A and B are shown apart, each in its own frame.
Chain A
């Protein structure tokens, strides 16, 4: 196998890897979205919409500390 062929295989493998990674990420996003106790990703938009110092954080950092 010469270098060009090797590059071609490597390239193909990279593309396959990226495609798999991408689709698994989509799957991950949508499945955690539905799960009870998972994230509701769309709620994160509120971090921009309700961003006054007095507004309640979407997921307060103090949640962690209480545990």
Chain B
């Protein structure tokens, strides 16, 4: 047998790169459809009355959120883990048949899960808890997938050559542990077929149907402890893991302050878990919990900005790279949007502000400046950096990437600015009243006023989707672009014209 030198094995990373792109397209396409449905309600019936059940807004909305969160984002997290993990631990997956098998099984079961989720949500099978819509059989499958992810993390750590764990690995471990805990507690549910009523009858409902173990306010509390920390451990922590690896690597600059990265890590871990109460302000949860949620939300600015500023300062003295490289542009704008949404969030968490913001489009704006500007940009940047290294080819086109960057940036700006105006207008109109306390407007008045902003949001979202298709095309063409030498892959990624 020939004696080839050991190399990193990106088989599993490539598989997850594929689902990142594919599910990104699906999720964002549905997002654009939703946005236009809000502006032009006739679109609920695009395929006719007969199929309205499958094309209406309420059926599609959970498909959007779950496709972008558990499809696009999660795949991105795993694609980068199976790439970064090996590299910073200096151990190849080719060295362990076991880990290779676990990695592939992880991907295969994940695919099964995706199919089950898409099919069941289309059929309208749902627990009706936001971001936790899956019924119990799927929940069990997800737990298995998650355990495999854990085996893969700790297995790789077990055979590593590098003794210390790089900061990104800390963040990946935190995502793993955080989501495991949240998911288990929030999805505690009882299949209705196991229930019995006072008359002794049992076996209610379909076999897949279940009810939450919590009721009323408790259910809401657990749900938002989960929901908020899903943002923490899905949209923040693993994305920070990515930027701590990909920005230094692509720019060739050491992290501005490694100590600050450790400090913000613990800061984030301590503070995030207490902030979930800000989703339930003015609701029936105890007042002190609401106040605690607000206060911790404001404190959360510190660790968040600690990471973001650390990233921006990593570029100190090297700002010409931002101008020169579209890949660095994505990451620098990503961390800027991270700062932006982590300033906006705490403002919305102040009780008096939340009184205007809650239930309005301002929240949706906040969601998307975080997800489109930070999560989306960072995942695309990570895949752009990985593509030349896993395919051993240069990125197909730099100019396409630059064009994509500007189109998407415009898209994000249109999205959040329109939602700010719409949200604050909505909030003010809902509470406006005359001197006798009669409401000044009815609900339909707000709908009329908001129509132009909904259209602008739709256009912004469409631009972002177009950019994402350009990204997909660029990655696809990279697979057959000019082959490159190992030496070209040290730092800045090679790009074709």
A contact set with B: CB distance below 8 Å = 4, 7, 11, 18, 21-22, 25-26, 29-30, 33, 41-42, 44-49, 51, 53, 55, 57-64
Contacts and interface: CB of A to CB of B under 8 A. Distances in A.
14 contacts: A7-B288, A29-B263, A30-B259, A41-B259, A42-B258, A42-B259, A47-B162, A48-B88, A48-B244, A57-B90, A58-B164, A59-B163, A60-B161, A61-B163
Contacts of A7: 288
B257 interface: yes
B168 A48 contact: yes
Interface of B: 6-8, 87-88, 90, 92, 160-164, 166-168, 244-245, 248-249, 252, 254-255, 257-259, 262-263, 266-267, 270, 288, 292
Contacts of B249: 48-49, 51
A57 B163 contact: yes
Residue from A30, A46, A48 having most chain B Cβ neighbours under 10 A: A48
Given A48-B166, A58-B164, A59-B162, 18 more contacts: A11-B288, A11-B292, A25-B266, A26-B263, A33-B259, A41-B262, A44-B164, A47-B162, A48-B168, A49-B252, A49-B254, A51-B87, A53-B6, A53-B7, A53-B8, A57-B163, A61-B162, A61-B163
Contacts of A26: 263
A57 B161 contact: yes
Contacts of B254: 42, 45-46, 49
Where chain A touches its partner, the secondary structure class is helix
A42 B6 contact: no
A64 B266 contact: no
A44 B166 contact: yes
Residue from B6, B258, B267 having most chain A Cβ neighbours under 10 A: B258
State the 3 A-B residue pairs at the shortest beta-carbon distance, nearest first: A45-B254, A51-B87, A47-B166
Contacts of B262: 29, 41
A48 B254 CA distance: 8
A30 to B, nearest CB: 7
Nearest to B90: A57
B255 A64 contact: no
A59 to B, nearest CB: 4
